[in-house]
Structures are given as C-alpha cells and as structure tokens.
Amino acid sequence: MENLLNTQFVKLKEAMNNLYKLKSSEHALESQQSTSVLMFVALKHSNRTVKRNIKSGRDELHLQKSKVDLSRLQLQNLLYEVSHLKKEIVRCQKFKSRDTYLELLSDKEYSNKLSGDYSEKANLSDHKSHLYRLECELRLRKELDNQYSALLSSKQELLQENLKQTQKYLSFAPALRTLLESTKPLHDALQLSLDVEWKLSSIFKYLPRPLYILFINLQALQRDKKDFASEVVGFESDAQMQELLSESENILKERRHFMEKKSTCEATPESTIESLLKPHPLHIKLVIESPDKCYELVLIIRYWELLKCVTVYPQFNSTNNSSFQGDINVVEDLLGHLYPDDSGQDIPIPGIEYELQSLNLTTEECLEYLVQNRFGKPYCWLQSMCSIATVNNKKIFKHEFNLHKMIRKVFIQILKRWRSWLRLTQQIRGLTYKDIDMSAAKENIYPAGLTGSLVQWTAISSEEFNIQNSGLINNLSPSNEITYTSYRAVIVRGSAKMECFIRIPSNYPLDIPLWTLSVHWNGRHTSVNNAAIKMMEFWTNSLQPKNLESGNRLLYSQLFRTIYSFDIFLETEGAVQTVREYNKEKPYISAYTKRIRLRPYKYIMKGSVYTFKQ
Amino acid sequence: MREKDLKLAYNNVLAQTISTSQKFLFAGNLFGDIFALSLSELDKSTEEPPNKLQVFPQGSDVDVNCLAFHRDFLIVGSIGLIYGVQWDEEAQTLSTKRAWEIKIPLQVDAVEVPDVNSFWLCTETDTLYAGCGDGVVYQIDLEDGRIQREYRGHTDYVHCVVGQPDGRIYSSAEDGTVRLWSDKQKEPTAMIEPYKNPQLLRPDWGKWIGAVSVNDDWLVCGGGPRAAIWHLRSMECTRVFDYPGRVHVCEFVDDSVLIGGEHNHVQFYTLNGTLQANIPVEHTASYSAVWQMSPFKFMSIAGFSNKLHILKDFRFLDSKIEMYGNLQGDDVENEEEEEYDDEDDGENDTF
C-alpha cells in the first residue's frame, strides 16, 4: 500500500519536478501537463484501494475481537457452573434423609413379612432396595393404621352398647322393687316366708367373691340333686369385723405413709406367716354322701385373700361309726389325682410368687403352712370351680366360665373315684382277712375250682417292694407325685409257693395295681431268670379294667388270673418232671407253643366249652 | 398297668433279620410290632447314640414269630400265615399292605392254627423253608408262593429249621429230635435224639431242642438238653458245652459257637468247648441273634427285654439299644391330651 502510494508520489514528484524544470525553463508543454494530471487519477485510485484495504482490515479486527469476547464469556459461565456444582456437592453431602429417624422393622421381620419377591430385589442397588423397603413399610403402616382405626371405632361402638345396656339394666331396679313390694300381700296371703329364709341365709353375702360364686352354683345344683349339701360356716359379725379391720388398716397404713417413713423398719418382725396368711372368716362346708350311704366326705373350702386362691381340706366321716383304714390318705389321694398334673403342689395363681416375694414369703412356705394347719391344698380344679384363673405346672392358662358344667363334672369325677376306691379297699380288706367270695368274682374265670390258694396277704413297705423288684420298676416310665402302697401275697399249691408283690398306685384307677411274681419251687423263679414267669406276670398285668364287666373287682380278678396262671405253670412244668407232682387238671390242648415255649395262660370260653390257650 | 408300660416291661422279641442291602435291621415282637433300625450309624466308631427306631405295627392279632428278608420283601411268619411286605429302602418305610400271603394248610386232625416258628431262606433257589407248629417243615417256592413239599416226621412242633444250599435240611423240634432231610428223599435221612444221651439230658427241662445250626461237617444243637456238637457223618456227639440255661439260640459264627437262651449271659465257645466270651445280657431269655461279617462286623442279640444288644467284635457287648421309648416321633406324642375317662366302671352316674 505504502509502496503503491510511494511510487505514485515518487512518479508525481518526478512529474512535478519535470514540470517545474520545464516551467522554469518555460517549456511548458501541454501534453506533459495532461500526463501529469492523469497521474492524479492514478493517485486517486490508489488512494481508494488503500482506504478499502484499511476498512477491510478494520472489519477483520472487529470480528476477531468479538470472538475473543464470546469465549471469555463462556469461560466465565463455566467457572460459575463449577462453583455452583461444588456447592451442590457440599449440600448433597450434608443432606440427611428423614427416614433415618424412622424405626424400621428388623431385617428378619422384614424378610418374613414383606418380601414377597425377595429374589427379584436381590440385584437392586442398596439404595433402591432401601427405597423399596420403605415403600413396603409405608404400606404396612397404612394397613395397620386402618386396622387400628377400625378397632377403635368398634371399641367405641361397644362402649356405647355397654352404656345403653347398663342404662336399661339400671332402669330395671325400681321396677323390680315395686314388683317386690306389690307381691308382699300375696306372700302374706299364701303364708310364704321366702323373705325370712333369704334374710337368714344372707350371711353368704359376706362371702368373698370366688366362694360366693361357688356357693351360688352349689345351691343351684342342690335344687335337683339331694346327695350333697353345702353350707356357709362362720359368723356374719366376723366378716363385718374383718371388713372394718381391713379398711381401718388401710387408713392406718396410708396415714403412716404420710406421716413419716422412719418407722418402716420396725414393722417386719410381727409380720409372721400366721398374721399375713389369714383365711376369710367364712368358709364353705360341703358334704358329699358316699354311694353306699356309709360315709360322708366333708370338704372344707377356704379362701385366702393374700394367696388369691381357694384351698380344700377333705375329711372322712363314717356315719355308722365303723373304723375306716387309712381314710385320710385315701381321701387326699382321691382329690390329688382327680385330674392329671394337678396334685396341689403349687399355688396355681399367675404371678403370685412375685407378690409373695415382696412380703418376704415363698410359695413353698405358704403351702407348708397350709398343709400343717390342715387347711388343705389349692388344686387347679378347685380354682376353676370358683372361676379363678389358673396357670398349672405346665404353664397352661385356664379360666373356666362354664361353671355349672364344670362343677357337675368334678362331682361326678369325685364320686366315680370314690366308688372305685371303696371297692378297692373292700377288696383289700377281704384279702387281708381272707374273706373272699371266690364264686362272686365275675372275671371270665375258670369255673372249676382253683387248686392254688391264697394263704397270706400283708401290707409291706415300699422299700421292701422295691428291693424285691428293682429290675422291673426301673423299666417303667417314671411317674412323679404318685405314691404307692404295697402288699405281699403268698399263694401255695403243694410244695410250690408263689410270692406276689402288689403295688397299688395312689392315682388308682388311672393306673392299676402292678403285680410281680416270684415262684419258689426247685429254686426261685422270677421274671428276671425265667421267661415263663415273665409271661405269667405279663398276663396278670395286662388285665385291663375295661375288659371287665361293670362293678368289677379288679384286684380279685387279678388274683384269680394269677392263681390259675400259677396252676397252669405248675401243671405244664410238672409234665416234664421225672416225678410228677402236679397232674394236668386244666383243660388245655398243648402245653407249649412257639419257640418261647409259651404256656396256655389265656382262658377261652366258647359257649359252655372252656379251654386254656396260648 | 398302662399299655405303654406294659409293652416296655414285657417286650418279647422273637425274630430279627437284616435287609438285603445290609443297611437295616428288623426286629419283631409278640405285640405285633416290627422295629426297623438303620445300621449305618452303627458302622461308624463314634460314641453318638444311634438313630431312633421306626416301628411298623402289624396289628395286635399278629405275633411276629419269625422274620426273613428276600430281595425287597420282609417276610413275616405269624400264626398259620406267612406274608410279605414291601420295604421301601429310599423312603425307609414298610408298606402297610401285605404284598402276598401264604396260608399254612390246616391238618385234618388239627385243633389249633399252627404257628410259623422258624424260617430258613435259600437265596440260591429262592426257596423258603418254614418250620411250623404242626410239626411239619414246609418248602415254599417264593416265585409263585406254592408249597412245594412238606417234610413230615416230627411228632411235635418244630422249633428251628436250617439248611444248606445243596438241599440238606435240618430241623429241631419239641419232640426232642433233630431230623436231617434231603430234598430228594421223602423220609428223613438221619435223626439225632440228644435227650437219649445221659450226658446231655437235663431231666427237669425236658427233651425239646430249641435251636440247631450246621456248617460243612458239624452240627450244633441244644434246648432242654445241653448244647452239643455232633459230627455230621458219624452222627456222634463229640463235644458238650456247659451253657447253664435252656438253649434257644445256637449258631456257628466264624469258627466259634454262639449259645444263648434262658440265662443272663450269651456265650461264645471254641469248637473244642472252651469258653471264649461270656456276654451279659438283660434278656430274661435270648431268642434271636443275627450277624454280618461285611461291610462291617456286627451282631444283634434280641430276646425277652426291651433292648437289642449290639456286638461289634463278637467278644464284648458294645451297646444296648432300647426299642419302646426310643421310637421316632416319641417326643411328639408326649403332649397327648388324654381324656381321662375313668374306665373303672360302666355304671351310669346319676348326678
């Protein structure tokens, strides 16, 4: 550009100079002047191109400038964004979800309750599974909430209903009173003395609640059954006294409590078991007549405020003054084994041991005290009769509501057991005094006489029994809380003697007497060393009462079975003896069968033909 | 006495057998119950008590007098009846249905249904020999259940029958004889009468022979008379064993003789008659012994008690396994809510 202009200027200068020279020399030439003027045109052209160039250069610059500006702006934006994101990250890090404050179900419960499709969720991320879990719980909570509100509303409804019923019920009272008053003239006219009776027996109003319930139920039962009688023993005044006393005691206690707490230590020595354990002044006396009208069973039923339970003390009274052997034991066994696992060894009231603990007492002490002072035992069935909730030694809770049925059942049970026991004691007495009517026994028994005979029946101690029969007893399943009375019977035939050891369980007739046998003849044979004796013993012990006729005499039947088995043993055993002592008297086909050489102990009766078989 | 206690105290096991797979032991008693015991636990030398037993009641009218195992059938000998029940090894259950039944024919003069007292199973010919209460040994083809032959001769019931695969059969009976039979001859080939030998006779206990066992050259038998070894060719009594009780079990085991019966021990003797092992048992009388040499040595002795006595080396008692009271599912039934209905009388209670 410069060059262009410069050359133009140089040319122009030359032309000027030329002109000047010419002019000065006065040789001005027209033509030369015009060429020089033309040079101005060229100069002008050049000038124009120069200007255009400058302009384009300027445009270029401007463009570049704006580009720079743009990128700068972008940079700024990005920087801003970075800082923003950094802030965002910090915020996220500081973020705490609200669900962390929620108490969630434990994993185990969760998997049990909510995870229907656990496998599906297994591949989800931690976060997602957590979300899923939250959702599930939300659903669960909503459901529970619904249930809760439903229950609440039903409770409300029931309350309303209750209220309505009570109102109705209350409105009865005046009507009843007017009815009572209006019937008075009728009573007088008919000369009824219901009122008087009612007033006389009003003492039972003072009975504690459980005994009251029992008494009312007994009265109801008594209306149509005459074989038992119940009455309330004690004085109305005592009951009133006790009520007053307990009230004043409470007041005293409260006062003491308010006054000062220093004197608490001095109260302990006087709080002995006697003063704490006081029965209610009123108790129920229940008299049940035995089936044969010879004996009376007297049950004294007491309530214990402290123990919250009822105890019964049984007594036997004989109505015709005949002595009754071991009656106390019998009657306690009778009640103690009325129901299984209910022998009155615990106080069956839930939580009573803790309450007693606070008074420094134990249940064992209390029970011991009760037994020693002849207050009896707290059986579960007795509590049920009084509608007291019980927990037995297997930790099963029971609260009886159908009292009427329950009491009837208990009475039937007692009578049944009693009857069995009476029969058993009769049999034992018969055996002891050898006053047995053999023919009367109705076991499907060999009718022709038995050759072996009972020569002795004596009571022995349990230790003696156990010494004789340690082997067998160990094999049996152990049974707690059952005591045994043992007897020894001796059966003789010719030179052979058989000792029988009989063990009668206290829960007869649930368990039946157990017999063990020992034969003395050419040595001592017992179930330990002689299989034939063991089979014989099995045959005796396998006699079940249900196979016998009603009104059976089990002990006699067992004895007969044993004796004829003994006869058969001797007769079959004798058959191989060189010198025969016992001839075959019983009808049997073969003396032995099977590899065990089983003897024909079983008695078969077909029509009038009878035989013994294996 | 409750039924449970009764069974516990008077469990009388007459028969045992081992399954073909040698994994299970079966024992049957007079209450009609068959117990199954898995032997795999016994194999290990651990001290752990073996698994509980399974019980398969056969009905109270069935006395399990003898047992045998053939292929996958348990064969039960009862009264007048032999039947097979299928054993499912996988499920370890005994079928409740009888797969087949063979009735023992009643003799013309019979007054009682005869017991099936003893089995001898010949696996080579699939033949079962059953010694029965009518004094006859029945040869039964297990393919079709036909009675192929009756071996008649005993005058009283058969206690025990054994044999050898070549067709020789030996039976002992209440009549005091041991008879030797051949499946090719009608009459017994020979007869032994131990009670006629004054050395053997124990007069108080009778002449019956409760058990017999044979190997190639020798026969051992005993019962009321003492147990003794007899030479099969000469029919001579060569050795007397002094087992003190009545003999119900005698067997050749390895190269010794096992004798058991009504005594509180079972005894192992050498063939020369010297006592090798005297093993105390709780049975009033031992009635059955089964054993195997492979895959592991094992012997079980059963009798009139609630325990199986297990021997592993045949010289010492290894363990005792209770039967009743040790059954699978026993623990569950403890929660039984028995309705205590007094069975004492059927009188109507008026209350």
For A165-189, the DSSP string reads HHHHHHHHHHHHHHHHHHHHHHHHH
Name every chain A residue with its beta carbon within 8 A of the beta carbon of B285: 531, 596
Facing residues of B320 across strands? B309
Asked if A472's CB is within 8 angstroms of B9's CB, the reply is yes
Asked if B9's CB is within 8 angstroms of A476's CB, the reply is yes
Q: Which of B160, B208, B262 sits opposite A531 (nearest CB)?
A: B262
Question: Distance between CA B237 and CA B209 in Å, rounded?
Answer: 15
Q: Are residues B75 and B29 in the same domain?
A: yes
Name every chain A residue with its beta carbon within 8 A of the beta carbon of B4: 477
Q: Which of B152, B184, B216 is the last residue of a domain?
A: B184
Q: Are residues B123 and B30 in the same domain?
A: no
The whole-number average pLDDT for the span B277-284 is 92
Q: B276 is written with which tokens?
A: 């090798």
A548 within 8 A of A613, measured Cβ to Cβ: no
A122 within 8 A of A111, measured Cβ to Cβ: no
Q: Does residue B253 carry a pLDDT above 80?
A: yes
Q: Are residues B151 and B86 in the same domain?
A: no
Asked if A412's CB is within 8 angstroms of B10's CB, the reply is no
Q: Does residue B140 carry a pLDDT above 60?
A: yes
pLDDT at residue B339 in the model: 40
Name every chain B residue with its beta carbon within 8 A of the beta carbon of A535: 10, 12
Q: Are residues B84 and B159 in the same domain?
A: no
Identify the segments of chain A with pLDDT beneath 50.
260-270, 442-444
pLDDT at residue A266 in the model: 42
pLDDT tier at B346, thresholds 50, 70, 90: very low
Nearest to A595 by CA among B104, B161, B307: B161
Facing residues of A286 across strands? A230, A299
Q: Which chain B residue lies closest to A525 (C-alpha atoms)?
A: B284
Judged by a CB distance cut-off of 8 A, whether residue B344 touches chain A is yes
pLDDT at residue A23 in the model: 78
- Burial status of residue B52 (CB atoms within 10 A of its CB: 0-12, 13-18, 19 or more): middle
Residue B165 placed within a domain? yes
Asked if A416's CB is within 8 angstroms of B204's CB, the reply is no
Q: Which chain B residue lies closest to A340 (C-alpha atoms)?
A: B340
Name every chain A residue with its beta carbon within 8 A of the beta carbon of B284: 527-531, 534
Asked if B5's CB is within 8 angstroms of A528's CB, the reply is no
The 3-state DSSP class for residue A454 equals strand
Listed by number, the residues of chain B in 69-108 with a beta carbon closer than 8 Å to a beta carbon of chain A are: none
Judged by a CB distance cut-off of 8 A, whether residue B12 touches chain A is yes
Q: A292 is written with which tokens?
A: 């044969």
Asked if B118's CB is within 8 angstroms of A595's CB, the reply is yes
Question: Distance between CA A317 and CA A295 in Å, rounded?
Answer: 6
Q: Does residue B13 carry a pLDDT above 90?
A: yes
Residue B283 placed within a domain? no
Helices A327-336, A403-432: inter-axial angle, 10-degree rounding: 140
Asked if B12's CB is within 8 angstroms of A416's CB, the reply is no
Q: Are residues B70 and B45 in the same domain?
A: yes
Chain length of chain A: 614
Q: Does residue B39 carry a pLDDT above 90?
A: no
Judged by a CB distance cut-off of 8 A, whether residue B110 touches chain A is no
Judged by a CB distance cut-off of 8 A, whether residue B341 touches chain A is no
Question: Distance between CA A436 and CA A459 in Å, rounded?
Answer: 17
- In chain A, count H helices and then E strands: 18, 13
Question: Distance between CA B210 and CA B216 in Å, rounded?
Answer: 21
**Can you give the residue range of the structural domain that contains B11?**
1-109+300-316
Q: Which of A509, A527, A576 sits opposite B205 (nearest CB)?
A: A576
Number of domains in chain B: 2
Largest pairwise CA distance in chain A: 205
Residue that wins the pLDDT comparison between A472 and B62: B62
Q: Are residues B103 and B119 in the same domain?
A: no
The CATH number linked to B151 is: 2.40.10.500
Q: B105 is written with which tokens?
A: 């024919």
pTM flag (> 0.80):
no
Q: Which of B184, B206, B228 is the last residue of a domain?
A: B184
Please tell me what DSSP assigns to residue A441.
-
The 3-state DSSP class for residue A24 equals helix
Residue B204 placed within a domain? no
Residue B268 placed within a domain? no
- Give the count of Cβ contacts less than 8 A between chain A and B: 134
Q: A68 is written with which tokens?
A: 């720079």
B257 within 8 A of B220, measured Cβ to Cβ: yes
Residue B62 placed within a domain? yes
Q: What share of chain B is helix, strand, coil (3-state, %, to 5)?
A: 5, 50, 45
What radius of gyration do chain A's Cα atoms show? Answer: 57
Listed by number, the residues of chain B in 135-154 with a beta carbon closer than 8 Å to a beta carbon of chain A are: none
Residue B149 placed within a domain? yes
Alpha carbon of residue A566 to chain centroid:
51
Query: Which amino acid is located at A539 in the chain?
Result: W
Give how far Cα B267 sits from Cα of A235, B112, B279, Å: 80, 36, 6
Helices A403-432, A554-574: inter-axial angle, 10-degree rounding: 40
Asked if A419's CB is within 8 angstroms of B347's CB, the reply is yes
Q: Which of B333, B345, B347, B348 to mutate to test the interface with A (most CBs of A within 10 A)?
A: B345
Largest pairwise CA distance in chain B: 81
Asked if B287's CB is within 8 angstroms of A596's CB, the reply is yes
Q: Are residues B129 and B28 in the same domain?
A: no
pLDDT tier at B1, thresholds 50, 70, 90: low
Judged by a CB distance cut-off of 8 A, whether residue B5 touches chain A is yes
Q: Which of A218-222, B58-62, B269-273 has the lowest mean pLDDT?
A: A218-222
B221 within 8 A of B227, measured Cβ to Cβ: yes
Name every chain A residue with its beta carbon within 8 A of the beta carbon of B207: 576
- Burial status of residue B292 (CB atoms within 10 A of its CB: 0-12, 13-18, 19 or more): middle
Nearest to B202 by CA among B177, B223, B220: B223
Q: Are residues B10 and B80 in the same domain?
A: yes
The 3-state DSSP class for residue B80 equals coil
Asked if A590's CB is within 8 angstroms of B346's CB, the reply is no
ipTM > 0.95, yes or no:
no
Q: Which of A475, A527, A589 sits opposite B306 (nearest CB)?
A: A475
The CATH number linked to B57 is: 2.40.128
Q: Are residues B120 and B97 in the same domain?
A: no
Judged by a CB distance cut-off of 8 A, whether residue B264 touches chain A is yes
User: B2: distance to nearest CA of chain A, Å?
Assistant: 7
Asked if A415's CB is within 8 angstroms of B351's CB, the reply is yes
Q: Does residue B343 carry a pLDDT above 50?
A: no
The 3-state DSSP class for residue B117 equals strand
Residue B247 placed within a domain? no
Residue B6 placed within a domain? yes
Asked if A419's CB is within 8 angstroms of B345's CB, the reply is yes
B261 within 8 A of B274, measured Cβ to Cβ: no
Find the DSSP H helices in A27-125.
30-94, 107-113, 118-121
Q: In sequence order, which residues have a C-beta less than 8 Å from that of residue A53 and are 6 or more positions away?
A: A1
Q: Are residues B145 and B65 in the same domain?
A: no
Name every chain B residue with its beta carbon within 8 A of the beta carbon of A527: 284
Question: Distance between CA B118 and CA B288 in Å, rounded?
Answer: 11
Helices A209-222, A403-432: inter-axial angle, 10-degree rounding: 70
Q: Are residues B69 and B126 in the same domain?
A: no
Asked if A514's CB is within 8 angstroms of B10's CB, the reply is no
Question: Distance between CA A525 and CA A23 in Å, rounded?
Answer: 185
Q: Does residue B219 carry a pLDDT above 70?
A: yes
Q: Are residues B66 and B12 in the same domain?
A: yes
Nearest to B210 by CA among B171, B258, B257, B164: B171
